[in-house]
Amino acid sequence: MGEMNDIFKLGRQALQGIEQRLGMSRRDYLQFCATLAVTMGLPKGADAAVAKAIESAKRPSVIWLHFQECTGCTESLLRAEHPTLEKLILDVISLDYHETLMAAAGHQAEAARKDAMKANKGKYVLVIEGAIPVKENGIYCKIGGHTAIDLLKECAADAAAVIAIGSCASWGGMPSTGPNPSGASSVAEVLGKAVVTIPGCPPNPYNFLAAVVHFLTFGKLPDVDKLGRPKFAYSRLVHENCERRAHFDAGRFAIEFGDAGHRQGYCLYKLGCKGPETYANCPTLGFGDAGENNWPVGCGHPCIGCTEKGVGFAKPIHQVATMKNVAPPLQYARIVEEQGKGASFASAAALAALAGAAAGAAVMLTRNLGLSHAAEEAERAKSEGKPQDKARE
């Protein structure tokens, strides 16, 4: 892939062109390319390939469809600041159809979509935002007289790559919550094949950007997990990189919103945080270019698991998460334990009786365990054709 010095083979004129075209200095541009390479988990030297691709590769045509959604994914993308969307995203890709951002409307918009599909057959990137309703033959979502089902299949037929952005397109999201009267479904379910999914409500815009730049640089989309999510963004649990993880390990939990623990930044596990069962890079990227703490948990609200099907919009916010790794005992002491009184004679006697019963149970348990082990050894010796008394030895 070459070293960073390979970038300068573009020539001073090309680098100056980057400054004018993207409105950013060469230093910032090279730093941005390096950041993207690291975000995607690419090896050393990949930043040079990213820089060359952005500068010299032909901009891929992008057709962006909206279905059952709130346009939050697009809104999140519009708020990318380093650099801004119009100076990088719209310059890196050729956004030929996007119902929210395009100036055309009605027949002109439909003509722009069909022209882009025809001119870039087999080469364009199809991005889907929103779930696809399938009940009653898809009558709950129509654009230009066509159902979302028909539009999706028509546009996906000749696409070089299909990306489902947001939880709605990735697995149904909020529209698919029970009883799901419109039959809201994911892109993969409707197409009957795996697609790249970038879940989140909304997803971090740089996860989408990194996936597009990967396609631009290497001619293919990044490696994905079994759910179609890029591994560079969704291979680690939110819990693993959370800034409150140290409090979790130490047993310090917020018990109620606004209590002392909550104000001091203690772990939100007992308030229903789904970080321990949710895969995403929210803690490491943050949102709105306002720092790593600018995400739900950093702002004091439990993670709702929006990137996970069956967690986000399915489990109540207060429900304790299913741990994917170490689970803390729920009987952890409270932040400030109330001081009790000394035990009375009666309660001490009762406690002694319970302790005696527990000790007797422990003896019986140990004895039974020994018998079980001996029986197990005898059975093994029998299957191996050995005398049982030797097996006991």
Contact between 132 and 68 (Cβ < 8 Å): yes
pLDDT, residue 40, reads 64
CA triple 18-22-26, angle to 5 deg: 45
Provide the residue type at 59 as one letter: R
The residues, any chain, with a CB within 8 Å of residue 65's CB and separated by 6 or more, are 97, 99, 126, 127, 128, 129, 130, 143, 148, 151, 152, 155
For 358, half-sphere exposure in the C-beta direction (CA atoms, 13 angstrom radius) is: 6
Strand partners, 126: 63, 162
Q: What is the 3-state secondary structure (H, E, C) of 266-301?
A: CECHHHCCCHHHCECCHHHHCCCCCCCCCCCCCCCC
The residues, any chain, with a CB within 8 Å of residue 375's CB and separated by 6 or more, are none
pTM score, whole prediction: 0.71
pLDDT, residue 369, reads 47
The residues, any chain, with a CB within 8 Å of residue 242's CB and separated by 6 or more, are 248, 275, 283, 297
| b/e per residue 163-175 (b: at least 16 CB within 10 A) | bbbbbbbbbbbbb
pLDDT, residue 2, reads 43
Helix or strand holding residue 368 (H, E): helix 345-384
pLDDT, residue 122, reads 93
Instruction: Report d(CA 97, CA 100) in Å as an integer.
Output: 9
Per-residue pLDDT of the chain (393 residues; tens, 9 = 90+): 444 444 444 455 555 666 666 666 777 777 777 776 766 666 666 667 777 666 655 677 889 999 999 999 998 888 776 556 666 556 677 788 998 888 788 888 899 999 999 999 999 999 999 999 999 999 999 998 899 999 999 999 999 999 999 999 999 999 999 999 999 999 999 999 989 999 999 998 888 888 888 887 788 888 999 999 999 999 999 999 999 999 998 889 999 999 999 999 999 999 999 999 999 999 988 787 766 678 999 999 999 999 999 999 999 988 999 988 766 555 555 555 555 555 455 555 555 565 565 555 555 544 554 455 555 566 667 777 765 554 444
Instruction: Report d(CA 211, CA 205) in Å as an integer.
Output: 10
Residue-range domains of the chain with CATH: 57-234 (3.40.50.700), 237-340 (4.10.480.10), 345-392 (no CATH)
Q: How many CB atoms lie within 10 A of CB 219?
A: 12
- DSSP per residue, 327-366: PPPTTPPPSSPPP-PPPPHHHHHHHHHHHHHHHHHHHHHH
Q: How far apart are the first and last CA of the chain?
A: 64
pLDDT, residue 182, reads 96
